[in-house]
Amino acid sequence: MSGMKAIVNGRILLPDAEVRHKALLYDEMIIGVVDEAAARREAAEVIDAGGAYVAPGLIDAHIHGYGGDDVSDDDPAGVRRMSERLVENGVTSFLPTTLTVGWDTLKSVCGHMRALARESQQPAYPGAEILGVHLEGPFINPERKGAQNPEYILPPDADQVLPFSDIVRAITLAPEMPGGYGCIRALKQRTDIALSMGHSSATYDEAMAAVGLGVTRVTHLFNAMSPLHHRDPGVVGAALNSDVYTELIADTFHVNKAIYPMLAKTKGNRLVLITDALRSAGMPDGEYENGGQTFVLKGIECRLKDGTIAGSVLRLNQGVRNFRDYGGVTMAQAVRAASLAPAESIGVAEEKGSLAPGKDADITLLDEDCNVLKTIVRGLCKYESK
């Protein structure tokens, strides 16, 4: 790539502040926030943001599908199509997330994503970068399976995961299942995989023991886990009472928006906005298939035929808007929860998640309603609204 670029006339969002009357200078990496006049002199290309927010690219650390495709279909072309669509939502990188399906399928997905992750780093790749795989299961508790298929649930076993430790960035498991603590201990000692607690009936003490062994994340807080109870605070209590990163599906359906201000105060910079989106995201109402089970989309609600909630159709930029509007936080704080916090939670914050000098030039321009105007991945424009 030749020449520096500058974004001027924007509201630049840093992790804890909004900066005006400055410019963002970048090539394939972020160079820095500089004086506008100097940027206009130095840059080979000047982009006028027209007063829009200049934000770090959004990172979705938990997304199953989009636009009719699903990661568990084990079709690399489908995940490539997801990548192309996700930049429309300001997402510059993501973790393709599997369902609890057959282990042979999961192994195959990991192999395909290993190759696709490398491909996604190339300049010619048309969409959001793939950072690795999030295995949601199969090491979960059948009591809290949610919309996961119980047929494929397995006891926690680190040896099954180790061959894929180069591509698996995160795994959701239930620590209280037989072998759970041993699995956590082995994965913590031998890999850099972010260990996330979810689909779990753990007591508060069991959950806190898991945190002590190396669990650093909690998957979609409140959903598919032991609830907050005054005599046993459960996984929810452990999430709120420790410094683990905590996922929130901010679609106003999975978690009532009245909870958002509480989470903003209790979790602060450790709150991670996700979509948990299914293949029905970006699609019309109707019936869809999900890990061998049929679910129905109506409005913002996805449910199995028996009424069980099954993932979301949230776009991550909408999640940012919802959290800002109902969480009592600033735009900078809401964006941080969908950029730097997820990057930190999966161990990629040295390269991703903010507009700090030396990081990848992953940038999105958002209007006041969080509609995406432009998405830039590693310094190259991958989406521009018409």
Is 113 a residue whose pLDDT tops 90?
yes
How many angstroms from the chain centroid is the CA of residue 348? 12
What percent of the chain lies above the pLDDT cut of 90?
A: 97
Q: Are 157 and 130 in contact (CB under 8 A)?
A: no
Work out the average pLDDT over 177-188: 98
Measured between alpha carbons, how far is residue 162 from residues 15, 345, 384 in Å?
34, 20, 40
Measured between alpha carbons, how far is residue 297 from residues 126, 287, 302, 309 in Å?
28, 6, 5, 10
Nearest to 12 by CA among 50, 56, 57: 56
Measured between alpha carbons, how far is residue 141 from residues 42, 197, 226, 343 in Å?
57, 11, 11, 27
Dist. CA 128–CA 352, nearest whole Å: 13
Is 292 a residue whose pLDDT tops 90?
no
Q: Give the model's pLDDT for residue 1.
A: 38
Catalytic residue, from 70, 74, 276, 360: name it: 276
Please give the structure tokens belonging to residue 326: 């109902």
Q: Give the model's pLDDT for residue 293.
A: 87
Instruction: Give residue-wise pLDDT tens across range 38-81.
Output: 999 999 999 999 999 999 999 999 999 999 999 999 999 999 99
HSE (CB half, 13 Å, CA atoms) of 105?
18
Helix, strand, coil fractions of the chain, as percent rounded to 5: 30, 30, 40
Ranking 55-64, 160-169, 185-194, 287-296 by mean pLDDT, the lowest is 287-296
- Dmax (CA) for the chain in angstroms is 64
Q: Give the model's pLDDT for residue 290.
A: 80
Q: Count how many residues are written for the chain.
A: 386
What percent of the chain lies above the pLDDT cut of 70?
A: 99
* Mean predicted lDDT score pLDDT of the chain: 97
Instruction: Give residue-wise pLDDT tens across range 25-47.
Output: 999 999 999 999 999 999 999 99
Instruction: Give residue-wise pLDDT tens across range 124-170.
Output: 999 999 999 999 999 999 999 999 999 999 999 999 999 999 999 99
Q: Are 104 and 139 in contact (CB under 8 A)?
A: no
The CA angle 337-193-197, to the nearest 5 degrees, is: 65
Dist. CA 171–CA 184, nearest whole Å: 10
pTM, 2 dp: 0.97
Is 379 a residue whose pLDDT tops 60?
yes
Is 3 a residue whose pLDDT tops 90?
no
Dist. CA 43–CA 45, nearest whole Å: 5
The CA angle 82-84-90, to the nearest 5 degrees, is: 95
Helix (H) or strand (E) holding 254, with range, is none
Crossing angle of helices 316-327 and 260-267, rounded to 10°? 90
Work out the average pLDDT over 376-381: 98
Instruction: Give residue-wise pLDDT tens across range 324-365.
Output: 999 999 999 999 999 999 999 999 999 999 999 999 999 999
Instruction: Give residue-wise pLDDT tens across range 218-245.
Output: 999 999 999 999 999 999 999 999 999 9
Active site residue 157: no
Question: CB burial class (10 A; 0-12, 13-18, 19+) of residue 25?
Answer: buried
In a 3-state reduction of DSSP, which class is residue 66?
A: strand
Work out the average pLDDT over 291-301: 90
